[in-house]
């Protein structure tokens, strides 16, 4: 099959990781690729470089104004992108597959109508699927296709040097500092649970930059406030640079932790399970897509309750009807402490369930699901 990808493909963004991972599996299956990255080619995978057919769509001025080499017939046109781009990015495919996850519950009407640009819309979780349906995308057009993890999580042995001798290392893979990720709540739980006397360290993988949108938050500002409130806190190591292979960082840690209010999938949680790490994350079905693959047999889910989402927790157009999950801080602290104190026994308990997740949620299986949807 001939398959085109026009979307963010630089792995400096999670959408780029998804796109290049699926493209790589299709390449391995023998399919013909045409790649066009709309967020540049920084750190672009060398094994896919030969399939790049255009480098013209890397600025807003050029996007949508050129055919960028992706023209003619394709069996599949795939794009993980905002719905508004579906008509333009997918127009040359017989099977036009648009993938997007809002990480919220209210989709602007102007976005929803763009579903006409796709023959099928591929949300990544049941929560995301429900959101599309409740906002007006036809039910018979929606097909859940999850994310996967790279083979390097299981066949590579390089360990990122964190330069610490602390015993238990807790990873929070935040990357983009958006308000919905509950950074203040996460830091508060860390401060209340551990002090500098505990043999633990928090590893924060973040992009520490100045906020530019209402839904962004400053990591540095939140960390400064945290340090003033919890002067004897357990240490925090900030990793604020691109890592060629993220599996190296996971191997250096023991626990993966998240307290997000809204997640349509939560790729770091799956990557934690793939790495055989204890995973602790929000567990509300109303706004947590990670419950598709996280359960009591493989991980630790934080209790909580549904809540209204503040305007600055929502993307692009806010609504008074926006919803989110409010994780219970006390329960999160209890689980974090339990994970540290009972680490070995919990790893043994969860290992069979982790293995089931590893076998099911591979990029190869994701690519097969996409091919099975072709008409």
Instruction: Say what the pTM is.
Output: 0.93
Query: How much is the pLDDT for 66?
Result: 44
What the chain holds in terms of domains, given with CATH numbers, is 2-149+362-372 (3.40.50.2000), 152-360 (3.40.50.2000)
Rounded to 5 degrees, φ, ψ at 203 are: -105, 115
CA angle 48, 72, 3 (to 5 degrees): 35
In Å, how far are 125, 128, 174, 254, 278 from 343, measured between CA atoms? Answer: 29, 32, 23, 9, 8
Query: How much is the pLDDT for 65?
Result: 42
* Structural element, H or E, at residue 21: helix 14-28
The parts of the chain modelled with pLDDT lower than 70 are 55-72
Pairing status of strand 255-257 against strand 236-239: unpaired
Q: Whose CA is closest to 83, among 43, 112, 52, 61?
A: 112
CA angle 74, 78, 81 (to 5 degrees): 145
CB within 8 A of 227, min separation 6: which ones?
233
Query: How much is the pLDDT for 68?
Result: 55
Query: How much is the pLDDT for 61?
Result: 45
- b vs e for 249-261, b when ≥16 Cβ sit within 10 Å of the residue's Cβ? bbbbbbbbbbbbb
CB within 8 A of 160, min separation 6: which ones?
243, 248, 249, 251, 252
Query: How much is the pLDDT for 217?
Result: 95
E strands, 245-298, where? 255-257, 278-282
Query: How much is the pLDDT for 164?
Result: 96
CA pseudo-torsion sign 43, 45, 46, 51: negative
Query: How much is the pLDDT for 365?
Result: 97
Query: How much is the pLDDT for 41?
Result: 83
Output the six-digit token pair for 372. 């099975």
């Amino acid at each position: 099959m001939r398959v085109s990808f026009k979307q963010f493909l630089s792995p400096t963004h999670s959408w780029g990781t998804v796109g290049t991972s699926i493209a790589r599996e299709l390449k391995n299956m023998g399919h013909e690729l045409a790649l066009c990255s709309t967020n540049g080619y920084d750190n672009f995978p060398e094994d896919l470089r030969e399939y790049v057919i255009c480098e013209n769509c890397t600025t807003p001025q050029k996007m949508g104004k050129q055919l960028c080499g992706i023209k003619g017939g394709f069996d599949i046109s795939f794009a993980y992108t905002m719905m508004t781009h579906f008509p333009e990015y997918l127009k040359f495919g017989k099977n036009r597959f648009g993938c997007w996850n809002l990480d919220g519950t209210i989709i602007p009407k102007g976005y929803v109508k763009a579903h006409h640009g796709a023959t099928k819309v591929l949300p990544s979780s049941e929560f995301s699927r429900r959101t599309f349906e409740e906002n007006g995308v036809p039910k018979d057009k929606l097909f859940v296709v999850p994310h996967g993890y790279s083979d390097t999580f299981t066949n590579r042995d390089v360990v990122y040097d964190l330069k610490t001798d602390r015993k238990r290392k807790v990873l929070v893979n935040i990357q983009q500092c958006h308000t919905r990720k509950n950074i203040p709540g996460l830091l508060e739980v860390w401060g209340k649970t551990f002090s500098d006397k505990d043999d633990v360290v928090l590893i924060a993988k973040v992009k520490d930059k100045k906020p530019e949108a209402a839904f962004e938050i400053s990591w540095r500002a939140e960390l400064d406030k945290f340090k003033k409130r919890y002067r004897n806190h357990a240490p925090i190591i900030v990793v604020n640079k691109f890592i060629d292979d993220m599996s190296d960082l996971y191997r250096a840690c023991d626990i993966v932790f998240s307290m997000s209010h809204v997640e349509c999938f939560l790729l770091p949680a799956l990557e934690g399970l793939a790495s055989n790490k204890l995973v602790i994350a929000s567990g509300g079905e109303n706004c947590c897509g990670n419950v598709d693959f996280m359960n009591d047999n493989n991980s630790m889910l934080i209790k909580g309750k549904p809540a209204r989402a503040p305007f600055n927790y929502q993307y692009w157009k806010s609504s008074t009807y926006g919803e989110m999950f409010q994780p219970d801080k006390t329960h999160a602290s209890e689980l974090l402490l339990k994970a540290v104190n009972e680490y070995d026994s919990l790893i043994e308990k969860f290992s069979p369930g982790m293995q089931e997740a590893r076998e099911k949620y591979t990029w190869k299986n994701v690519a097969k699901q996409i091919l099975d949807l072709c008409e």
